[in-house]
Structure 1
Amino acid sequence: MSGSKTGWTSTDIPDQTGRIAVVTGANTGLGYETATALAAKGATVVLAVRNLDKGRAAADLIVRAHPGANVSLQELDLGSLDSVRAAAAELRAEHDQLDLLINNAGVMMAPRSTTADGFELQLGTNHLGHFALTGLLLDRLLSTPLSRVVTVSSLGHRFGRIRFDDLQSERRYSRAGAYGQAKLANLLFTYELQRRLEGTDTIAVAAHPGGSSSELSRHLPGVVQLAFRTLEQSTEMGALPTLRAATDPNVAGGEYYGPGGFMEMNGYPTLVDSNRRSHDPQAARRLWDVSEELTGVSVPA
Structure 2
Amino acid sequence: MTGQHKIGSAFGHDSTADDVLRGLDLSGKLAVVTGGYSGLGLETTRALAKAGAQVVVPARRPQVAEEALAGIDGVSVDALDLGDLDSVRAFADRFLASGRSIDILIDNAAIMACPETRVGPGWEAQFATNHLGHFALVNRLWPALVADGGARVVSVSSTGHRRSDIRWDDLEFRLGYDKWEAYGQAKTANVLFAVQLDALGKDSGVRAFALHPGGILTPLQRHLARDEMVGYGWIDEDGNPLNPGFKTPEQGAATQVWAATSPQLDGLGGVFCEDCEIAEVSTDDNPGVRPYAIDPASADRLWTVSAELTGVNAFG
| TM-score using structure 1 length | 0.89
SS in 2 for 1:88: helix
The RMSD of aligned alpha carbons is 1.8
1:121 deviates by: 0.5
User: 2:28 is aligned with what amino acid?
Assistant: G
Is it true that 1:279 corresponds to 2:287 in the alignment? no
User: 2:253 is aligned with what amino acid?
Assistant: A
Task: Give the Cα–Cα distance (whole angstroms) in 2 for the partners of residues 270 and 97 of structure 1.
Answer: 27
SS in 1 for 2:133: helix
- The 8 Å contact of residues 20 and 257 in structure 2, kept in 1 or not, is answered as no
Give 1 or 2: higher helix fraction.
1
Task: Give the Cα–Cα distance (whole angstroms) in 2 for the partners of residues 255 and 234 of structure 1.
Answer: 24
Aligned to 2:305: 290
User: 1:43 is aligned with what amino acid?
Assistant: A
Mean Cα deviation higher: 39-48 or 250-259: 250-259
Is it true that 1:240 corresponds to 2:254 in the alignment? yes
Task: Give the Cα–Cα distance (whole angstroms) in 2 for the partners of residues 95 and 153 of structure 1.
Answer: 30
1:27 deviates by: 1.4
Q: Which structure 2 residues correspond to residues 145-294 of structure 1 after superposition, within 5 A?
A: 145-220=149-224, 221-227=228-234, 229=241, 230=243, 231-251=245-265, 252-259=268-275, 269-273=276-280, 274-294=289-309
Q: What are the Cα deviations for residues 96-128 of structure 1, in whole angstroms up to 9, with x where unaligned? A: 311111100000111100113321010000000
Is it true that 1:42 corresponds to 2:46 in the alignment? no
Aligned to 1:263: none
Task: Give the Cα–Cα distance (whole angstroms) in 1 for the partners of residues 246 and 121 of structure 2.
Answer: 34
Gaps of 5+ in 1: 64-68, 260-268
1:93 deviates by: 1.2
Alpha-carbon distance change, 2 to 233 in structure 1, aligned in 2, over 3 angstroms: closer
Gaps of 5+ in 2: 1-8, 236-240, 281-288
Higher relative contact order (CA 8 A, sep 6+): 2
Q: How many residues are matched?
A: 285
Q: What are the Cα deviations for residues 27-62 of structure 1, in whole angstroms up to 9, with x where unaligned? A: 11011110110000110100111001111112204x
1:9 deviates by: 4.6
1:299 deviates by: 2.5
Q: Identity over the aligned pairs, expressed in percent?
A: 40
1:146 deviates by: 4.3
Q: Which structure 2 residues correspond to residues 80-95 of structure 1 after superposition, within 5 A?
A: 80-95=84-99
SS in 2 for 1:185: helix
- The 8 Å contact of residues 292 and 299 in structure 1, kept in 2 or not, is answered as no
